């Protein structure tokens, strides 16, 4: 219960700091903020602290959940995902491409973009297939 109280106090302090910095930004006005960017630093630091805390808690609780659960199934799932990424990488083409802004996208960058797209397509097909299979299985067992 002590951790809960500490987290409530930290959340309250961050909330108050955020409100104070927001008030300072509003008091300066839009034009002053646009021209100089002055006054934004404080609220950015609050955002960085909140982001770091959220990231820390996510990592801690994910690792806690992994080690409390079945580690073998977790590693098999990560391995299956890695296999899908490898298959997508093999399927992807790497062609140097000119960008709209005039720059060039390297062949390697193009290959990784294609890998991401193929990974998305494969995972989407697997998800749709799992939903269809589940629906058919549910209809046939009743």
The per-residue pLDDT for range 43-52, each reduced to its tens digit, is: 788 888 889 9
d(CA 50, CA 14): 8
Range of the domain at 75: 71-141
The string of pLDDT tens digits covering residues 1-42 is: 687 888 888 888 888 888 888 888 788 777 777 777 776 777
Nearest to 84 by CA among 120, 113, 112: 120
- Tell me which of 5-14, 28-37, 56-65, 95-104 is least confident: 28-37
Nearest to 39 by CA among 27, 50, 56, 54: 27
> pLDDT higher for 129 or 53?
129
Mean predicted confidence (pLDDT) in 98-122: 92
- 79 with 63, same domain: the answer is no
Q: How many domains does the chain have?
A: 2
Q: Are 22 and 39 in contact (CB under 8 A)?
A: no
Q: Which two tokens stand for residue 41?
A: 């630093």
d(CA 41, CA 21): 9
Domain boundary, last residue among 68, 95, 112:
68
């Amino acid at each position: 219960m002590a951790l809960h109280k500490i987290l409530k106090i930290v959340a309250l302090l961050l909330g108050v700091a955020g409100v104070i910095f927001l008030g300072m930004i509003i008091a300066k006005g839009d034009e002053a903020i646009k021209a100089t960017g002055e006054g934004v630093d404080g609220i950015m630091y609050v955002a960085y602290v909140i982001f770091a805390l959220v990231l820390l808690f996510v990592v801690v609780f994910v690792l806690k959940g992994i080690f409390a659960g079945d580690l073998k199934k977790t590693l098999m799932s990560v391995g299956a995902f890695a296999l899908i990424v490898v298959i997508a990488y093999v399927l992807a083409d790497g062609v140097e491409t000119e960008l709209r802004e005039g720059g060039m996208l390297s062949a390697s960058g193009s290959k990784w973009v294609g890998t991401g797209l193929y990974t998305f397509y494969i995972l989407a097909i697997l998800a749709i297939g799992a939903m269809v299979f589940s629906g058919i299985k549910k209809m046939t067992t009743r």
